[in-house]
Copies of this chain bind each other. A is one copy, B any other.
Amino acid sequence: MTGRPISTRHRAEATRNVELTLTEYAILGLLGHLDEPISGYDLRKVVDRSIGFIWQPSKTQLYAVLRRLVDHGLASERRVRQRRRPDKTLFAVTAAGRACVHTWLSRDENQPDPDRSVLVLKLFFGAQADGDALVRQLVAFRDAYAARLSLYESKWRDDSPEERAGSDRFTRMTLRYGIARARAAVRWANATLEELQG
């Protein structure tokens, strides 16, 4: 109601193919992934447990995006009264929303992902830096990725066929991606540390 005006980009192609931002697609995709109505509050926790390392919108963003999706008819909302808890609004993807996600998923990307990393950027400027500080931050970088790696690996094990934790094969594929990249990061960091110190 008081929400910010709907962007012109949306309105422009409003009739058929709605063009959304990545964040909007991500959230809409999650709604379809879950396939049952969910509140913004809970959705946030789902994000943390699933695509958190790939995509993590801020709390306010999430609520704003959900409202926008509803405005576009891509998601539906249903108010739920609660006695012991604050009332909440449950969101679900609509048929139009599903179609929208499907189109997005089918469309080729024209620009590849950048490999953004603050630490690597800093390392590039290493000649202007303090040696000790670099080493310290590289260690932190390695440890962070090592932690991420073991988290991914434990998820992988908890989700093995015998366990039937319910993740689909695609979740497992993305998990493998995280593992592969984290492993590469840890190995590189160790090699680089040796070169810096040795």
Contact = CB atoms under 8 A, between A and B. Distances in A.
A51 interface: yes
Interface string A120-141: 1111111111100110110011
Interface residues of A, number: 68
Interface of A: 22, 25-26, 29, 32-33, 50-51, 53-56, 98, 101-102, 104-109, 112-130, 133-134, 136-137, 140-141, 144-145, 148, 168-171, 173-174, 176-178, 180-181, 183-185, 187-188, 191-192, 195
27 contacts: A29-B124, A29-B128, A33-B124, A33-B128, A53-B114, A53-B115, A102-B129, A104-B122, A105-B122, A105-B126, A105-B128, A106-B133, A107-B133, A109-B119, A112-B145, A113-B118, A113-B119, A115-B178, A120-B174, A123-B170, A123-B173, A125-B170, A126-B169, A173-B192, A177-B188, A181-B184, A184-B184
